[in-house]
Structure 1
Amino acid sequence: MRQLHHRPIRARGTFYSAAKRSLLFTTCLGIAAPAFAEESGLAIEEIVITAQKRTESSQSVAAAITAIGGDELSKTNFNNVADLQNIAPSVQIGESFGFAQIMVRGVGTDNPFVGGDPSVAVHLDGVVIGQPSAQFGSLFDIERIEVLRGPQGTLYGRNATGGSVNVISYKPTPETTGYARLTGGNYDLIKFEGAVGGALSDTLMARAAVRYTNRGGYGTNLVDGSDIDDADQLSLRGQLLWEPTEDVSLRLAAEHHEEDDRNYIPKFRGPSYDPAPLPALEPQPTAGTRATDPRDIYSNVNLQNKRSQDSFSAELNWDIDETFSLTSLSNYQTFEKIPQADFDMTEVDFYIWSESYESDQFSEELRLNFESDRLRGLIGAYYYYEKLDSDNRLDIPLVPQFVADSTPVLSGCGFDDNVSDQIVGADPELLCFNFRGTSKTNAYALFGNAIYDLTDTLSVNVGARYSYEKKEGDTDRWTAPGAPVLTFQDEKSFEKFTPNVRLEWRANDEVLVYAGYSKGFKSGIFLTGQTTPVLDPEIVDAYEIGLKGMFMDRRLRFNAAAFYYDFTDLQQGRSVPAGTSGFTLVYENAASAEIKGMEMEFTWLASEHIRIDGSATYLDATFDDYVTTDPFDTVFQQLGLIDAGVDLSQQLAGNRLVQSPKWSGRLAVTVDHEISDTGWLAEGTVAVSYKDQVYFTQFNHDALAQDDVTTIDANVRFSSDNGWSVNLWGRNLTDETIYVGTFILNSSRTNAGFLAPPRTFGATLGYEF
């Protein structure tokens, strides 16, 4: 079934219904929903979502959820989860060395090292993507994305303290459907995305999708003129859906994603901050050149980003009878990456970082859904296994070597071929840091959720989860110049019962009010290649009240929520000096933190051809009790600028949590116009987004932050009855320089930054059938 685009805003959108045992998927247009027309006149139609593992209206779910449809995503040149942060309220997405740092309502992880579980789960067709680096994979052929805010655990196999991003792809259908989109843009962007699906027989359906992206760099390595922060990516997905009877279906899916470019490269942001009255420290090495443009770099290292990601899933659905249905979801996935960066960011032989990182993950979820006149819900069992291997190398080489194409390649500390074919040779006299290790996770869970209608207007929603997790790992080599070779082993298990309860009141057919409490649990962390013991779990007690309603004869949808989170043992990481120009990571539990906030979002059909969407968030996220040491104070003490006997500990109570802007918001205006007697619809959208100041360190240093910033995105789309479309799009049109992460190299005294894309624009030619 091909979606038509010739109607005005008030009448736009369709949804597809499969056999009775399947879920109902809908194409969602707009920030939270499409606009539809009823026969009686202008009105907003409710959206169908599956966030609670059943088909239901988004407005009937007593939880903070934002749904974004695939059509809306395609208009903005959407690539991955990083592009969500200006669309869904309370969402902030940072990046460090290619690790996704997804924050929802101030809850997330800023850990850029292997072994830390994300606090916000990302699910692709129900399967969790375990590692933050893998969360940056390409998202394509997407029907919709649902962003759930707040602790999750009684509806999903993998629990999360911050929230869940649910990505739902298009599934095979009996009808032959498909599309093709070709995009060109500045920075030599060429992107193709396409899909085709349909019936292979009376009981077997299939769908195949592909995306290829090639783009020049947003910056330049000024030593050799090569691009950095470029893109060379390929993504493939194939699905088979077998329906031997009306009550049974089996879906098989395989997906592959790969990257081979120079993306995620840290750039020189500046010297270490000036902690007056002490002087700012000059970055090391003092020789060499550092770029003045924040997007460029001077480097004599062969910079690289190599990634490969594969996933295989089997989903079995069985409608047992009118009351019960059973789902089994099995998945196996692998992820590998080999990055290489220049940590001194000069042409001088000083500091090379390389890593080999491999992840193997298996999960099995078994879920029994039930529904009767007054009671509906589910019970489930879950198993998750993950093995991580990482080999981190930090080298200060002595003699540069060259390969056939004259690209400078620096001799390192003896890498194996499977670690990096750009680093060759070995010299025991070099200053070499090596952090190598393995970690394993075995997680088991029983969970359930039920909603009981006490009256026609009042319901109680209760859920519970029992989690058991075991973390174990070893560091088989931890070396630093002048230090003995260290090995380290640790293991620890955790178990936790986490309930939730919510009261839901339907004031009338159009207004829902709710209030609830939930407890979130995130297990301990073992960082591979580090000597930090397994961390304790972090626990959050979350309270929320909310309102969801349709007003003005269903021309205005308004949703709002207020929340309070009480955190204990919040997991925090910081790099500390380790030998000459090196560092290691200390991960620790902050004693407590408190988060208070409010958020709202709305869609208003101002007229038949004008739609206004908006959202706003106020967030007060601070530490209550966190005593720790600023790593730079340790450097100053080592240099004699602070007396050796001074206690460097400081209380961070009152400091803001990382990547938690106090204010954020978005306003978008969409106008459409039917071009008379042509079968074409013209539609334009302008969106303005604002984010308050964001800190990238618990110590709230302004030099290690991103100032408040306003961005503007826009697109104009022409679509026809016969399936053709042309979309002209632009993002960050005022070309703001926006840092999404900062990493401090303590001993080398360097502030390294990671940047969001600059101004980008282009055109997409599409065809749907």
Structure 2
Amino acid sequence: MKAKITTLRGASSVAIMLMGLSQAANAQTASPADAAVAQQESDAGGIQDIVVTATRTGETQLQRTPVAMAVLSGDSLSSRNAVNVKDLVNLTPNMSVGQTTANAQIYVRGIGSNNVFTGSDPSVTVQSDGVYIARAYSQFSDFVDIDRIEVLRGPQGTLYGRNSIGGTINLISRKPSDELVGKAQLTVGNYSAVQAQAYVSGPIVPGVVQASLAGNYIRHDAYVDNIVPGKPNIGAANRGGLRGQLRITPSDSVELITRADWSKGDERIDAYAHIRAPVAAAPLASSTVGNLRKVALDNPPRNRTNGHGIAQEINVDLNPALTFKSLTAYRYSHYHFTGDTDATEIPFNQATQFDDSKQFSQEFNLVLRTDKLQAIAGAYYFHEKDNGVFLVDIKPSILTPAASSAFSTISPRIKSESKAVFVQGTYHITDELGITAGLRYTRDKKTINQSYLRTSQNPATLGATVPPFPFFGSSTRTYDAFTPKFGIDYQVNRHFFLYASATRGYKSGGVNFVASNPLALAFGPEKIWAYEAGLKSDWFENRLRVNITAFRYNYTDLQVQTTITAGLISIANAATARTNGLEIETTAKPIPNLTLSANLALLDTEYGSFPNASVPNTYIPYVTGNPQFNPTTRLFNASGNRLNLAPRTSFSLSGRYDVDMPSGTAFIRGDYRHQSRSFNEPTNVLISSQKAYGILNLGLGYESDRGGWSAQLIGKNVLNKQYLISIVSSGLVPNGVAGDPRTVAIQLTKNF
């Protein structure tokens, strides 16, 4: 029987109990002096206040913001050598990140998507200074010029729009400053790793025009050995980027910020390691089962990406209470993948994919801030042209010597358009009690025009199950959605904050670029109702912080994958699901020089109705005989099974101890994250799972009080754990992509 964890009703009981404890602990109510008192407690060695902008109505204190979220400063990320979204997993509760080729598969609270191909969208959005990043292969861009990152858990569609059904990751850059400041950082490590970052900011016209420029470069050798003679090893990376900003303040009430960025990468990152022995009719020449850092690939995967973007932000204070904002943005993203999709040394199945995305977005909004009401209202427009080419080359081999080769060419041309209007506000009935209501209306339109050509030396060998070719198709679909939010919050006193909310989330429908039937070209949107209750609390003069969140999700029309043939994936709406969860986040500062934190996340996820889950060919031997598997239709009844990348339990521990020195501070830091078993397929067979594992990262360094320099020794995955970040359903052999091995680096930083 599956373990059941706290439901919303239980969460309400916990909240009521904690409210009573808080009233007993400190009977005073919030007052205008609370912020000053809290700052005094922080200055006295307590936990620092954190300022966030998650509500989009201005700056608020994290502990008084009714959203479950993690906030990571740029300095904290840099000191941990966290370079992109993958590194947030060790620092954020209830977050998992998988990877398919260069595409990010981000999951928050068990909500995410492995459907990240042309025509579909991620389920967790990434926003760079308010600009939505549409393509999943652009979500792994390295952090450059980051002030902080806000990871918002749960549906955020009312404020952040379509596809934020699982959550939103806000990348917030540093604004150019009116004084000359800068930073240079060099990190060198094993695998011939070199990482360089630099940042400079300062005035052009003091008080009126400021500018900043930042850049980064990362390279390292391969992590994974390829035992096929003459073929390159896997895991090497060579990438870099630039980011510039220009800020103009012609008056106290007007601010204009222009941002531009560029990036380029060339990596071999998909090491398809064998996780079970081959199940094909003939033995393979090589077997690497049991060692995730050794592969046998005749055509090692290669991912090449490049992109650039420009954005113009305009802020105008119309009066002391009302601010107008315009955000206009354009982004180009390109992706080129070549590789071996059979995951063996046999030249059997090769794939090549190109994708070019051009996106434009425009948002106008008004923000109102009074003593009683904080509100935002706006209009949003998004347009994207996403053109791709997908080539699959299936050749005769020792496994199919009598077969003839087959070559598929799929050329989708996809146009997406989204229009939305939204409003959300929080009204304070009293100084302590606030109510929130919001509504967003979204209208999405997607059009696909594609050609699908499959050729063979002998057309008879294509098989009866393969539709006739060539195929030329087009489809246009329009989707409408209302995504409301209702919430209530109560500031018991300056140390205890309670909140609860009900939110509807929406993920846009999409188009299948591999479908060969006009009726199957499109799939509908996903929808979710999310219910959440939370407590944010500070104890012992801000030396202990405890935040608790309980939530329940009801999911309908889940977009799921169906495997057509090796390397070809289709998507359909085929499931309902529900999730219950509990998160406990704690930070303690028992003495001024010691900071400790511990986070616990519990998840109970289940497909409510999923009777027709597709079973990849490589998994057939592992589900045969299972009463949930129909050998005639080759479909699996996954109802009651757990969702993908949703471990029942995950926890993290971290700590930092500072030692005061005559001319600086020495420190030691450690981070450990552990998660229980998680599955990558709805079948929930063990072969589709990653067993429980933990990752330990360490740091030892010195920060000088003179000259602004620091040095640090950084170890990531110091126990050298072998684990999978994704499990691949295609190929001749059950296979997966391993996480990074142990890396050790020395980091030198100079601030001025």
TM-score higher than 0.5 here?
yes
Equivalence for 1:49: 52
| Residue in structure 1 matching 2:605, options 610, 621, 631 | 621
Distance (Å, rounded) in 2 between the aligned partners of 1:690 and 1:641? 33
Distance (Å, rounded) in 2 between the aligned partners of 1:133 and 1:613? 32
With over 3 angstroms needed to count, the CA separation of the structure-2 counterparts of 1:39 and 1:493, relative to structure 1, is closer
Equivalence for 1:674: 660
**Equivalent residue of 1:151, what SS?**
coil
**Equivalent residue of 2:63, what SS?**
helix
With over 3 angstroms needed to count, the CA separation of the structure-2 counterparts of 1:302 and 1:737, relative to structure 1, is closer
Equivalence for 2:168: 164
Shift of 1:294: 2.1
Equivalence for 1:749: 732
| Residue in structure 2 matching 1:548, options 511, 528, 536 | 536
> Which protein has the bigger helix share?
2
Distance (Å, rounded) in 2 between the aligned partners of 1:687 and 1:631? 38
1:288-329 residue CA offsets vs partner (Å, 9 max, x unmatched): 334453223333336422110111111011111111101111
Distance (Å, rounded) in 2 between the aligned partners of 1:392 and 1:252? 36
Distance (Å, rounded) in 1 between the aligned partners of 2:297 and 2:288? 10
1:132 maps to 2:136: yes
1:184 maps to 2:188: yes
Contact 1:474 1:529 in 2 (8 A): no
Distance (Å, rounded) in 1 between the aligned partners of 2:50 and 2:43? 19
Shift of 1:159: 4.8
Distance (Å, rounded) in 1 between the aligned partners of 2:307 and 2:617? 40
Between 434-443 and 445-454, report the one with greater CA deviation: 434-443
Shift of 1:633: 6.9
Aligned-residue RMSD, C-alpha: 2.3
1:594 maps to 2:591: no
Distance (Å, rounded) in 2 between the aligned partners of 1:39 and 1:268? 52
Equivalence for 1:258: 264
Contact 2:408 2:452 in 1 (8 A): no
1:540-592 residue CA offsets vs partner (Å, 9 max, x unmatched): 01100000011111111111100000001011113233xxxx45323111331
1:246 maps to 2:246: no
Shift of 1:534: 1.2
Equivalence for 1:289: 286
With over 3 angstroms needed to count, the CA separation of the structure-2 counterparts of 1:480 and 1:699, relative to structure 1, is farther
Contact 2:658 2:668 in 1 (8 A): yes
Amino acid of the structure 2 residue aligned with 1:96:
T
Amino acid of the structure 2 residue aligned with 1:114:
T
1:382 maps to 2:380: yes
With over 3 angstroms needed to count, the CA separation of the structure-2 counterparts of 1:302 and 1:456, relative to structure 1, is closer
Distance (Å, rounded) in 1 between the aligned partners of 2:494 and 2:577? 39
Shift of 1:122: 0.4
Following superposition of structure 1 onto structure 2, how do residues 272-283 of structure 1 map, counting pairs within 5 Å?
281-282=279-280
Distance (Å, rounded) in 1 between the aligned partners of 2:675 and 2:543? 28
Shift of 1:58: 0.8
1:327 maps to 2:325: yes
Shift of 1:270: 2.9
Gaps spanning 5+ residues in structure 2: where? 1-37, 398-402, 457-461, 463-467
| Residue in structure 2 matching 1:665, options 651, 658, 665 | 651
Amino acid of the structure 2 residue aligned with 1:619:
L
Distance (Å, rounded) in 2 between the aligned partners of 1:357 and 1:496? 28
Amino acid of the structure 2 residue aligned with 1:333:
R
Between 228-237 and 106-115, report the one with greater CA deviation: 106-115
1:196 maps to 2:179: no
Equivalence for 1:505: 490
Shift of 1:249: 1.2
Distance (Å, rounded) in 1 between the aligned partners of 2:223 and 2:150? 30
1:473-496 residue CA offsets vs partner (Å, 9 max, x unmatched): 022124264252122221110111
| Residue in structure 2 matching 1:469, options 435, 440, 444 | 444
Contact 2:101 2:303 in 1 (8 A): no
Amino acid of the structure 2 residue aligned with 1:52:
T
Equivalence for 1:585: 569
Contact 1:325 1:370 in 2 (8 A): yes
**Equivalent residue of 1:86, what SS?**
helix
| Residue in structure 1 matching 2:714, options 715, 725, 729 | 729
Contact 1:100 1:133 in 2 (8 A): yes
With over 3 angstroms needed to count, the CA separation of the structure-2 counterparts of 1:570 and 1:233, relative to structure 1, is same
Amino acid of the structure 1 residue aligned with 2:538:
M
1:450-474 residue CA offsets vs partner (Å, 9 max, x unmatched): 0101112111011110010011102
1:501-540 residue CA offsets vs partner (Å, 9 max, x unmatched): 1011111111110111011111101132434321111110
Equivalence for 1:27: none
Shift of 1:136: 0.8
Distance (Å, rounded) in 2 between the aligned partners of 1:541 and 1:702? 30
With over 3 angstroms needed to count, the CA separation of the structure-2 counterparts of 1:694 and 1:36, relative to structure 1, is farther
1:21-52 residue CA offsets vs partner (Å, 9 max, x unmatched): xxxxxxxxxxxxxx987487221221111111
| Residue in structure 2 matching 1:344, options 342, 348, 356 | 342
Distance (Å, rounded) in 2 between the aligned partners of 1:735 and 1:298? 21
Contact 2:343 2:733 in 1 (8 A): no
Paired residues, what number? 688
Contact 1:476 1:529 in 2 (8 A): no
**Equivalent residue of 1:71, what SS?**
helix
Equivalence for 1:228: 234
Between 243-252 and 344-353, report the one with greater CA deviation: 344-353
Distance (Å, rounded) in 2 between the aligned partners of 1:172 and 1:632? 51
1:680-700 residue CA offsets vs partner (Å, 9 max, x unmatched): 101111122111111010111
With over 3 angstroms needed to count, the CA separation of the structure-2 counterparts of 1:480 and 1:138, relative to structure 1, is farther
Contact 1:218 1:228 in 2 (8 A): yes
Distance (Å, rounded) in 1 between the aligned partners of 2:620 and 2:646? 28
Distance (Å, rounded) in 1 between the aligned partners of 2:196 and 2:54? 30
Equivalence for 1:485: 470
Give the TM-score normalised by structure 2.
0.88
Shift of 1:707: 0.2
Amino acid of the structure 2 residue aligned with 1:219:
V
Amino acid of the structure 1 residue aligned with 2:92:
A
Contact 2:435 2:487 in 1 (8 A): yes
Equivalence for 2:554: 566
Equivalence for 1:714: 698
With over 3 angstroms needed to count, the CA separation of the structure-2 counterparts of 1:41 and 1:484, relative to structure 1, is closer
Distance (Å, rounded) in 2 between the aligned partners of 1:373 and 1:159? 33
Distance (Å, rounded) in 1 between the aligned partners of 2:344 and 2:513? 29
**Equivalent residue of 2:511, what SS?**
coil
Give the TM-score normalised by structure 1.
0.86
1:435 maps to 2:439: no
**Equivalent residue of 1:703, what SS?**
helix
Distance (Å, rounded) in 2 between the aligned partners of 1:112 and 1:583? 14
Distance (Å, rounded) in 1 between the aligned partners of 2:284 and 2:592? 64
**Equivalent residue of 2:157, what SS?**
coil
Equivalence for 2:481: 496
Equivalence for 1:523: 508
Equivalence for 2:210: 205
Contact 2:257 2:314 in 1 (8 A): yes
1:269 maps to 2:252: no
Shift of 1:151: 0.8
Following superposition of structure 1 onto structure 2, how do residues 373-412 of structure 1 map, counting pairs within 5 Å?
373-397=371-395
Amino acid of the structure 1 residue aligned with 2:537:
G
Distance (Å, rounded) in 1 between the aligned partners of 2:543 and 2:165? 34
Distance (Å, rounded) in 1 between the aligned partners of 2:42 and 2:409? 68
With over 3 angstroms needed to count, the CA separation of the structure-2 counterparts of 1:438 and 1:615, relative to structure 1, is same
Between 286-295 and 618-627, report the one with greater CA deviation: 286-295
Contact 2:232 2:300 in 1 (8 A): no
With over 3 angstroms needed to count, the CA separation of the structure-2 counterparts of 1:695 and 1:44, relative to structure 1, is same
Shift of 1:79: 1.2
Contact 1:178 1:197 in 2 (8 A): yes
Distance (Å, rounded) in 2 between the aligned partners of 1:208 and 1:688? 34
Distance (Å, rounded) in 2 between the aligned partners of 1:434 and 1:468? 32
With over 3 angstroms needed to count, the CA separation of the structure-2 counterparts of 1:244 and 1:537, relative to structure 1, is same
Following superposition of structure 1 onto structure 2, how do residues 634-673 of structure 1 map, counting pairs within 5 Å?
646-673=632-659
Amino acid of the structure 2 residue aligned with 1:193:
Q
Shift of 1:347: 3.7
